[in-house]
């Protein structure tokens, strides 16, 4: 049994005894990211089950992927309609429309590209006010490094692209357009900074707050493995 299997043994035992401590899962994920695909696939099913148990422990209400996707499409459509209706006059409603579109695009882009990558989801939940898609973690763990990187990069560009489109549509509408421009640059800065941290192996917890940071960590791990092992093991 490899190191990943032993780490899972510890996590599963702690969950059974009610002795699980925060950080155990994040350390497993960090080690799994550095491991070969063969090692990851060998524990994918067990890791998926542990991930579901930990997710349920957080008591986050979850709806099905279909219902969540429909809610996201409705929110994006409402945002689009508000932006189109107020792009000349500006005002608070334009910013509201921009916010709806930006928030909805992140999960929609991620769920839109995942079938081609072999990554699956179980549902949608809220983390604060932000909708998140719940990974079937075993499918993510077993996926090739390239698929995981593309998956996170897709999540990184969804919201900034939405903000960029609104900014273009609202050009010349005064303070509302300025507010959207600020939102766009803040979103870009978050992704660029966390991507850089992930690539450099620094600020691991901060890097993981965004798709860009997670993509950076995956790219870094893939490069390390490619330097030290045959490409087929990635």
45, 156: one domain = no
Whole-prediction pTM: 0.78
pLDDT in tens, 180-221: 899 999 999 999 999 999 888 886 776 677 888 888 888 988
pLDDT at 59 over 70: no
27, 138: one domain = no
Contact partners, residue 202, CB within 8 Å, separation at least 6? none
- d(CA 12, CA 210) in angstroms, rounded, equals 27
Greatest distance between any 2 Cα atoms in the chain = 64
SS3 133: strand
53, 67: one domain = no
Query: Taking a C-beta distance cutoff of 8 angstroms, is the pair 142, 37 a contact?
Result: yes
- The runs of H, that is alpha helices, within 18-91 are 24-34, 37-42, 44-57, 65-86
H or E segment and range at residue 121: strand 121-127
Residue ranges making up the domain that contains 27: 1-59
Boundary (domain end) residue, out of 11, 36, 59: 59
70, 49: one domain = no
**Domain count along the chain:** 2
What is the residue-averaged pLDDT of the chain? 84
Boundary (domain end) residue, out of 59, 75, 101: 59
175, 128: one domain = yes
69, 48: one domain = no
Lowest-confidence pick of 63-67, 185-189, 213-217, 225-229: 225-229
pLDDT in tens, 141-163: 888 888 888 888 888 888 899 99
Give the pLDDT band (50/70/90) at residue 74: very high
Boundary (domain end) residue, out of 14, 30, 59: 59
């Amino acid at each position: 049994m490899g190191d990943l299997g032993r780490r899972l043994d510890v996590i599963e035992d702690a969950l059974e005894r009610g002795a699980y401590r925060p950080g155990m899962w994040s350390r497993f994920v960090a080690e799994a990211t550095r491991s070969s695909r063969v090692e990851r696939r060998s524990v994918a099913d067990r890791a998926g089950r542990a991930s579901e148990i930990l997710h349920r422990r957080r008591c986050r209400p979850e709806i099905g992927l279909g219902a969540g996707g429909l809610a996201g499409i409705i929110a994006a459509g409402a945002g689009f309609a508000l932006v189109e209706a107020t792009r000349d006059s500006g005002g608070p409603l334009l910013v509201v429309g921009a916010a709806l579109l930006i928030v909805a695009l992140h999960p929609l882009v991620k769920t839109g590209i995942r079938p081609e990558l072999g990554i699956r989801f179980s549902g949608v939940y809220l983390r604060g006010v932000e909708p998140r898609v719940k990974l079937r973690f075993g499918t993510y763990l077993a996926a090739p490094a390239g698929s995981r990187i593309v998956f996170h990069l897709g999540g990184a560009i969804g919201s900034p692209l939405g903000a960029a489109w609104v900014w273009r549509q609202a050009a010349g509408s005064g303070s509302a357009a300025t507010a959207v421009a600020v939102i766009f640059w803040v979103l870009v800065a978050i992704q660029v900074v966390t991507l850089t941290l992930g690539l450099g192996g620094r600020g691991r917890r901060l890097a993981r707050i965004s798709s860009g940071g997670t993509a950076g960590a995956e790219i870094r791990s893939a490069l390390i493995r490619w330097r030290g092992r045959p490409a087929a093991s990635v």
